[in-house]
Amino acid sequence: MSLRAVAESVFVPVVPQIQVTLGCNFGCSYCFQDHRSREMIDPRTAALILAKCARYNGAGIRSGRGKVEVYWHGGEPLLAGLDFFREMLRVQAGFPAVSFINHLQTNGSLLSDGIAEFLVEQGFQVGFSLDGPPEINDRQRRTTGKGESAFAATWRGIQNFKRHVPDGRVPFIAVITRASAARAKEFYAFFKEVGAEVQLDIYDLRCADLRSSRDNALFRQAPAEDEVRDFLIELFDLWFHDPERRVDFKELKDELDRVLQPERRFNNPLHKKRCRAGRTIFDPRGIVFACDQYVTDSATAIGDIRRDGISTIMRRKAAAWDRVKRVVRRSPEAMACSTCEWGESCMGGCITCLKYNSMLLDARAKGLPDDKWPAGSVAAPLRQIAGETYYCDALRALRAHIQKEVQCELAKDHGR
């Protein structure tokens, strides 16, 4: 095999997630970002990100035609206004040999009929952040300023969007907290009525939460392991046994595939997209991070688009995560993967992020510089978590349940 062929075989396209602003017109109780800054990305910085990503991905594809998936995030990205996105499309048009796919994640409150029409016409894949019906959503998602219901504000934008895609399913990201975990039936019925495609995001247990009192407000929102188990199993049964199938849950479909295809490898439990090897975060200043949970911690940056090339950034990211995994996988908790029946296909997931955060902050507390974090010990609270992640036992129980349900269905089919 030639050196070029070897290079292409290991080439990982960059998938830029551009944080248009960290500012937001919502103040959700579980959000890990600091929204006090209203700084918007300079269009020239955004254009530079697009240009460098286009050249990098284009050069790495043998056919000469690359693809760049761009995720426009915030804060609330629509705070940048429609003219900003028109300008970004003009920048993309300057690279005719590259196919751009634009994704936009929004709370929907600023999505007027005109903006919805523009985004649909230009092929943007729009996703809405909504956690369920009003009584669930508004407990944790809140507008700032006028005091309008967050559900009402988002729902208005969804209706504008649906006018332009009347037959399509509406994509959502729904964060699962303790409040929603106890209400699977209402959660399912709501998204079925909408005709939705839902990505489940179990509320993240971050290092900051683990290191503080379990009585704090953030920790009270995190569902316990048995609550996650019961929620996922009940939701799966409602979905799997519903003949109408007017709602899809990406993660449940993946878990079903995991059971049906045990030889297949998955990158992480419940498939958090930010864990993809190519997903790379650019903040409004053009500073680059390996994960969007780090964007308020500049010491963890892996580059600056204004001075670094994408190849340099991607090498730094790969080296950093390789170092993280080598250290993390030697920790006692990681041994659970080698004995778990799902270890090969599941591969541990976001525990790398969780443990990295913990070790990084623990090292800082001991006065160590960031590049010396492996010399620090794992923070004590992590030792109290059995298994590879806090929710591992819940996921194992879900997969065992799916196996049983699939076997029952196969037996019914065989008996007919």
Side-chain-side CA neighbours of residue 99 (13 Å): 8
Q: Environment class of residue 352 by beta-carbon count within 10 Å: exposed (0-12), middle (13-18) or buried (19+)?
A: buried
Assign 258 a pLDDT band (cuts: 50, 70, 90): confident
Which of the pair, 320 or 199, is modelled with greater confidence?
199
Rounded Cα gap, residues 31 and 11, in angstroms: 33
Tell me which residue has tokens 């090292």.
363
Q: Which amino acid is at 332?
A: P
pLDDT of residue 391: 78
pLDDT for 49 beyond 90: yes
pLDDT of residue 243: 94
Percentage of the chain lying above the pLDDT 90 cut: 51
pLDDT of residue 167: 81
Dihedral class, residue 147 (left if φ above 0, else alpha if ψ from -120 to 50, else beta): left
pLDDT of residue 386: 44
- pTM for the model stands at 0.86
Rounded Cα gap, residues 238 and 188, in angstroms: 7
| Cβ atoms 283, 19 nearer than 8 A | yes
Which of the pair, 144 or 6, is modelled with greater confidence?
144
Q: What is the pLDDT of residues 206-240, one digit of tens each?
A: 545 555 545 566 667 878 888 999 999 999 999 99
pLDDT of residue 3: 38
pLDDT for 401 beyond 60: yes
For the CA atoms of the chain, what is the radius of gyration?
A: 22
pLDDT for 124 beyond 90: yes
Rounded Cα gap, residues 130 and 161, in angstroms: 14
Q: What is the pLDDT of residues 166-183, one digit of tens each?
A: 887 899 999 999 889 999
Query: What is the location of CATH 3.20.20.70 in the chain?
Result: 13-316
pLDDT of residue 33: 77
Rounded Cα gap, residues 266 and 348, in angstroms: 9
Q: What mean pLDDT, rounded, does the chain reach?
A: 83
Q: Which amino acid is at 385?
A: I
Which of the pair, 348 or 140, is modelled with greater confidence?
140
pLDDT of residue 377: 54
Rounded Cα gap, residues 354 and 411, in angstroms: 41
Assign 299 a pLDDT band (cuts: 50, 70, 90): confident
Percentage of the chain lying above the pLDDT 70 cut: 75
Buried b (16+ CB within 10 A) or exposed e, 88-118: beebbeebeebebebbbbbbbbbbeeebbeb
Strand partners, 282: 18, 288
Q: Beta strand pairing status for 98-106 and 287-289?
A: unpaired
Contacts (Cβ under 8 Å, ≥6 apart) of 83: none
Assign 102 a pLDDT band (cuts: 50, 70, 90): very high
Q: Environment class of residue 261 by beta-carbon count within 10 Å: exposed (0-12), middle (13-18) or buried (19+)?
A: exposed
Greatest Cα pair distance, the chain, in angstroms, is 68
Question: What would be the CATH architecture of the domain defined by 13-316?
Answer: Alpha-Beta Barrel (3.20)
Q: What is the pLDDT of residues 365-384, one digit of tens each?
A: 778 776 666 665 555 455 44
Rounded Cα gap, residues 132 and 330, in angstroms: 39
From the list 374, 399, 350, the residue with the least C-alpha distance to 204 is 350
From the list 229, 205, 180, 177, the residue with the least C-alpha distance to 349 is 205
pLDDT of residue 281: 94
